Homo-oligomer: A and B are copies of this chain.
């Protein structure tokens, strides 16, 4: 199927929008009136620019307040409409959108609406143009798709059809099944948008909060199935009014938009993509740092051992249990201080995982082709984090560890010195990544669709300087957990820290050994423990232990969660945690205390 996007969905001047849409692979665009008015290009120049870019102009939009009005008003509207039909012709487009009237002059008279729309369609036909009539969710008298269709049907004019818009239909809770009663050839256009499920005024919801299919809470795919059932053969076109997208760069937004349509097509069986290959574990986390020492000291205190060194690059492998951390001092210049740059994901089919990612427009990274390097498939996530698809220890696949020269120190050396004693870390429990402000919803969709992970509910977390939002994506058995976090505003630099959470079987022992090895835990205020005593009936000595070690506590319906944090190096810190009884969360209840403590620590160190 052809894909299209309304220019209002992207930021910038019209020419930038067109370029972004074409680069992302769209077949066509809807030209939004205000974008055209503000463009220095003539309609003919816009037409030529689109042709150069390989884009068709599928729709000119919107016209409004034309039907079911007094005769004199209709005459004025028809005059205005003729100007727009001529403009549409000059653009080389064949369809204009007419929204149901919101004018106080409009009357509740379907026969009059049908008659006047027929008159408009007569005029449109003179210009070789046809009219797609759409019910706005807040139309004065016509606000449901079936009502708009009844009027179109009554008019019975060949140049008059209906336009369906998933937002207008689903925001009102209309049953989209009735779409199948409309002949496909009378559906002149299909506009698609999703939205988060908000209880708010539908006009505000529509104008500010729409998002791309799959990013929100509507069953857009279900609606599209009904439309395809009618034999509709026009484009799938995105029309998304969103305050955030208005500010974001057009290029990445257009790619996100097209990815959402590819997934929608896959869901409704209109496109075949490579199957998702769900990762089965975390092979490694890679830190880049301009300065090895602070990271090495922290890893050592956490009981990691430097077990190997890359044969051709300044990269060390640190290991404890199944937790592996790469420390890369090569490309660190692009980061301010130490940062989490890459994740190795265990994949049953690394090449297949990369094929799906590529089909879904994820930037494919050049394979590492240094002498002796295993050729790892890798793509970039929306936040720039590199995702490597690994097959550690699996015969028939290149093992990334073959590129590393063992140092001779085993990861769990029983005779290790105190400074390198393992502290009981078994594996990486989860990774927490800060997302670019403009791409939080997209990040969740990316991880769901490209990696086949599940997205959990989004939670608000209070930081001293704003509300953050956080959302986890996981695989089925929770061996891969990634927490995606976003700040309250584009400028928010209070949340740039990323972290690596390490699973232990005994966090109390782990925290003690971390201290004994010279580690600096994040101090937790005493008031937190007074509150813990109020909330949970914990034995005094248990509480004293937590207080002494800075361990935080949470409980859900399934079990208990205990965790503590290290100080921050560059933009990275570590968490030691213990899950008991099937606790499922991430201690979000404790996050405000942790964030405040990190602000205090930063303030004290002048960082």
Q: Which A residues are within 8 Å of any B CB, using their own CB?
A: 11-13, 33-34, 36-43, 79-80, 83-84, 87, 198-201, 204, 208, 243, 246-247, 462, 464-467, 488-492, 523, 525-528, 530-531, 533-535, 537, 592-593, 595-597, 599-600, 603
Contacts and interface: CB of A to CB of B under 8 A. Distances in A.
Contacts of A198: 200-201, 204
A83 B523 CA distance: 23
A555 to B, nearest CB: 13
Contact of A40 (B12, B490, B523, B535): B523
A466 B128 CA distance: 35
Contacts of A79: 534, 537
Contacts of A84: 534
27 contacts: A11-B465, A13-B596, A13-B603, A33-B531, A34-B592, A36-B527, A37-B593, A38-B592, A38-B593, A39-B525, A40-B523, A40-B597, A40-B600, A42-B526, A42-B527, A43-B527, A79-B534, A79-B537, A83-B530, A83-B534, A198-B200, A199-B200, A243-B488, A246-B462, A247-B488, A489-B491, A491-B491
Contacts of A80: 534-535
B465 A12 contact: yes
Contacts of A36: 527
A464 B38 contact: yes
Total copies of the chain:
2
A38 B524 CA distance: 8
Given A201-B198, A490-B491, A600-B13, A533 B83 contact: yes
B525 A38 contact: yes
Contacts of A597: 38, 40
Contacts of A523: 40
A208 B246 CA distance: 22
B537 A466 contact: no
Nearest to A489: B490
A396 B488 CA distance: 53
Contacts of A603: 13
Contacts of A33: 531
Which 3 residue pairs are nearest across A and B when measured between Cβ atoms?
Answer: A83-B534, A38-B596, A199-B201
B466 A11 contact: yes
Contact of A37 (B208, B246, B531): B531
